[in-house]
Amino acid sequence: MNTDVQWILGLPFDLTGARHAADGLREAGVRERSVVFATPNLNFLRSSSESRKFRDDILRTDLSLVDGMPIVWLGRALGVPVRERVAGSTLVDLLAEPHENRQPLRTFIFGAEGESAQLAMNAVNTQACGLIGVGALNPGFGSVKELSSASIIDTINASNPELLIVSLGAVKGHAWIEHNRDQLQVPLISHLGAAVNFLAGTVRRAPPFMQKTGLEWLWRVFSEPRLTRRYAGDALYLARELLTAVLPLMWMRLWRGRRACEIAVDEVPGRPGLLLVSGALTADTVSTLVESVERLRSAGADAISLNFSDLTYVDCRGLGYLYELVYRRIGPATVQLGGRNRTLDRLMRLHRAECLFDQPVTSVQPKPRRVAPAATAAPGRNLAKDRGSFEAGAGAGAVAGTERRGVDLTRPH
């Protein structure tokens, strides 16, 4: 199955189906491997464009799934083969399905309004299902720091959960998760605010046909009128992105996206390995870069610099791989990106991907010698030490044995 990471207008997305993702997450929970996962929708894209802190919190997740039909449509317009949306509430429903050969995931619910967290836990525990509530806590109002006291973290850890569902509002909730993830001894952590309300029965989810046709927002506006302003802002953001980013990228993809990608390696004694990338870095050519990076790592390089001064085009899959290198730390070597040109600058702006080049690249001037590229967690609950040790499936362009953060999604769904 293709589990490639794609970059869509400022955020990464792991392409997989809902059931496949749920199975991978359940397995991660059973193995007690730390995974923070997110389900970005259109409002996430908008919020990430307005808040660098929120964007960085999402970039640091281990799994990022496509939630919302607008993301599906945007991705397909940009050439991303999105198969389906994976809503957070759908994931929770799949995790809650009973299975005679599996123990229920121990679940703690943190946040939500009023008694929603307690109601959701009660609803889970009154039926035989794949989840079992072990705690619910509404901390009330406060800053991220105020909601991160030792007593709160101890209360969560003491319940020994395998799944922590946070409901504080997307921006605040992900900030809280990132602030506390090293102290939380919980394998699976995510912000799934709407899912808590659905479990509690305080809000009804839209009918399936509205979910599939992109009309769920209309249902939610009628169910929760307070969301009207949010959806109006999202609609304006979508219109702006279509005009200023999506249409220009579609045009550039039509005219530039078919050029080949060539890799040049400059081997300088005593200096970090340098790859000069020229041509087009796309879904069809990214495997060439992957193989070259892995070849340097196999040779013992502890630092790799990628120079893109001669790059003429990059698509969503190419940016997805660069994101993995920078944020998910594939393998032990550190990677730096650099070497910009005018065309690449414009592409990065249109893709909302400037953040990938925040780190400077080591500059090496000599003309490179071109080289053709070659065709388990520790036991216990010290999950903070397991971050970054997750093995993900090898999708198109991935190399077997590559160590990366993520979820094992290699089994077919």
Domain map (residue ranges) of the chain: 5-232, 261-357
Going from the C-alpha of 309 to that of each of 162, 263, 275, 301, 337, the distances in angstroms are 46, 12, 11, 22, 10
What are the pLDDT digits (tens) for 83-94? 889 999 999 999
- What pLDDT was estimated at residue 338? 85
Reported pTM: 0.83
pLDDT of residue 30: 73
pLDDT exceeding 70 applies to what percent of the chain?
A: 81
Mean pLDDT of 8-23: 94
pLDDT greater than 60 at residue 180: yes
Q: How do 5-8 and 261-266 pair as beta strands?
A: unpaired
Supply the angle between the helices 247-256 and 342-350 in degrees, to the nearest 10. Answer: 140
Q: For residue 278, which amino acid is it?
A: S
Question: Of the ranges 34-38, 126-130, 323-327, which one carries the lowest mean pLDDT score?
Answer: 126-130
| CATH number for the segment(s) 261-357 | 3.30.750.24
Buried b (16+ CB within 10 A) or exposed e, 328-350: bbbbebebbbbbbeeebeebbeb
Q: Are 58 and 173 in contact (CB under 8 A)?
A: no
Q: Which residue has the higher pLDDT, 123 or 241?
A: 241
Task: Tell me what pLDDT residue 271 has.
Answer: 59
Residue 231 in contact with residue 221, Cβ under 8 Å?
Answer: yes
pLDDT at 11 over 70: yes
Nearest to 39 by CA among 89, 94, 76: 89
171 CB neighbour count, 10 Å cutoff: 19
Helix (H, G, I), strand (E, B) or coil at 218: helix
Structure confidence by residue, pLDDT tens digits, 329-381: 766 678 888 888 999 999 999 999 999 987 433 333 333 333 333 333 333 44
Residue 413 has pLDDT above 90, yes or no: no
Strands 188-191 and 35-38: parallel
Nearest to 36 by CA among 335, 333, 383, 396: 383
133 vs 371: CA distance, rounded Å: 56
Give the pLDDT score at 344.
92
8 or 410: which carries more pLDDT confidence? 8
Report which of residues 199 and 365 the model is more confident about.
199
Q: What is the mean pLDDT of residues 306-334?
A: 87
CA nearest neighbour of 87 among 165, 6, 22: 22
Q: Please report the pLDDT score of residue 303 as a whole number.
A: 83
> Would you state the pLDDT for residue 56?
95
Name the residue among 327, 57, 93 with its Cα closest to residue 192. Answer: 93
pLDDT at 135: 93
Of the candidates 277, 198, 220, 178, the residue with the CA atom closest to the CA atom of residue 68: 220
Distances in Å between the alpha carbon of 150 and those of 47, 96, 154, 184, 230?
Answer: 29, 30, 6, 11, 33
For the stretch 251-306, pLDDT in tens is 988 876 555 555 554 555 555 678 888 888 888 888 889 888 888 888 877 888 88
Q: What is the pLDDT of residue 215?
A: 84
The predicted model gives 233-242 an average pLDDT of 96
E-state strands within 269-338: 273-281, 303-314, 334-338
Residue 223 has pLDDT above 50, yes or no: yes
